[in-house]
Amino acid sequence: MKISYYPDTDSLYIDLSEQPSAESREISEGVVLDYDAQGRLVGIDIDNASKKVELKKLILSKLPACEQIIAA
């Protein structure tokens, strides 16, 4: 998984898979889900991200790796 924030457009993209997107669906204003050709969710695109999600802190918990807290 890869999380990328683009400050120039205030957008956040969460890559859930390395598979290319074949279809996109807007589920609410400025939130788009990307699906691969088999219909599996591969990414989440959030416009105006600073108004919709907490960008200052990322908590990773109960993943196969060590727990990490990353603050901006």
Confidence of residue 64 (pLDDT cuts 50, 70, 90): confident
CA distance 15 to 19: 9
Q: Where are the domains of the chain?
A: 2-71
* Collapsed DSSP state (helix, strand, coil) of residue 52: helix
CA distance 56 to 72: 5
Whether the pLDDT of residue 5 is over 70: the answer is yes
pTM of structure? 0.83
Could you give the C-alpha distances from 51 to 12, 20, 37, 39, 62, in angstroms and in order? 11, 27, 31, 29, 27
- pLDDT given for residue 43 in this prediction: 98
How does pLDDT run across 20-63, given as a tens digit for each residue?
999 999 999 999 999 999 999 999 999 999 999 998 888 777 77
Confidence of residue 67 (pLDDT cuts 50, 70, 90): low
Alpha helices by DSSP H, 3-70:
49-52
